Amino acid sequence: MINEKSLANLRLPKNRNKYNTYRYCLPQEKIDELFTYLAEGMSLKKAAKQCKICFMTARKYFREGDTKRGIKPLHYRLTVFQDKISEKFNVLLEERRMKMLETIRKAIDLFSEKIVSGDLLNKPNINHLDKLMRLEVFLSGGVMQKDRETKLLTAEEISGDNTE
């Protein structure tokens, strides 16, 4: 019978999990899969369960990454990913805003012409023109609301017992 702790047994190759690589690091594919689930909005716990990895390991890669292999933390990667999505979304919104601004300016020109010419069949009035002009200023990035100064009152000021 061979002793379990004999030198011959220690020299035999160890049985390893197929998902683990050298020194039990997660393979890049598993990390990318975890990132994909997180980018889709899944919680870290559910994403770890989907990837079939331990929650603590997933949390380690989420917070710290793996500096030895040059893998950045997943929360950093998610932030960069969301920033890129926001930039693309902002470009689309800017294009949409410019189209709306062009439409509003055409409507203002049309209303102005009808008011000046006296064509009141459709009854364009100054209120409609005013609303369109305010909308134009808003879409152009102008300020629509005045800053209001707010002051908190003390209990003495509310009750009227100012004995100063």
pTM of the model as a whole: 0.48
Each domain of the chain, given as residue ranges in start order, spans 14-72, 86-140
- Return the CATH architecture of domain 14-72: Orthogonal Bundle (1.10)
- Amino acid of residue 162: N
DSSP states of 89-154 as a string? HHHHHHHHHHHHHHHHHHHHHHHHHHHHHT--SS---HHHHHHHHHHHHHHHT---SPPPP--PPP
| Residue 143 or 3, more confident | 3
Structure tokens at 73: 């933390």
pLDDT, one tens digit per residue, over 109-159 is 887 777 777 665 555 567 777 788 888 888 777 655 555 566 676 767 767
pLDDT score recorded for residue 132: 80
pLDDT score recorded for residue 121: 56
Task: Tell me the β-bridge partners of 71.
Answer: 66
